[in-house]
Amino acid sequence: MKTRSILALLLCTSAAVPLIAADETRQYFVYREDTGGTPVITIQQPASPTRTVTFEGALFTTGAACTITLEINGTAATGTALTVRKLNTKAPAATATGWYASDAGTGTVIHKYELTAVGTYPINKAGLALGPVAAQNFTFRTNCGTSLKSTIFWSE
């Protein structure tokens, strides 16, 4: 009787808590360093997307006060492709692409962040997601005009 109770408890517990192997984590990022200007970085769904892309956060390190604007779903980006990197080396390749010097058309503004001084600023809009729809994107537009290091994180 005791053995059956323990077995039933184990079965119920394992059904209630899904097990996710570490190699199934699909988290990605792009990194870019700029020394001036008004950099624009876009993360975009491909022409035939198969996964939802969820924004996880961003880090911006700036050499001066500036504004960073987060937009969603401007026109499709082109420009210079950024190297997409995996946080977990066992994850499959990302389906989303990263673009620098992006010519993505202005999208819906989600938020404008006023960075008031030199420093590192985290941005978190957890839950911002791009469904599996061609060319959906999120874009960061900046006007820092000085050194800027940008890291954008997402999961698929």
Q: What is the pLDDT of residues 80-92, one digit of tens each?
A: 999 999 998 889 9
* Whole-number Cα distances in Å, 113 to 69, 72, 125, 137, 149: 6, 15, 12, 19, 15
| pLDDT exceeds 90 at position 36 | no
pLDDT band at 24 (very low <50, low <70, confident <90, very high): low
Q: How many CB atoms lie within 10 A of CB 61?
A: 16
Q: What angle do CA 150, 109, 107 make, to 5 degrees?
A: 90
**pTM of the complete model:** 0.80
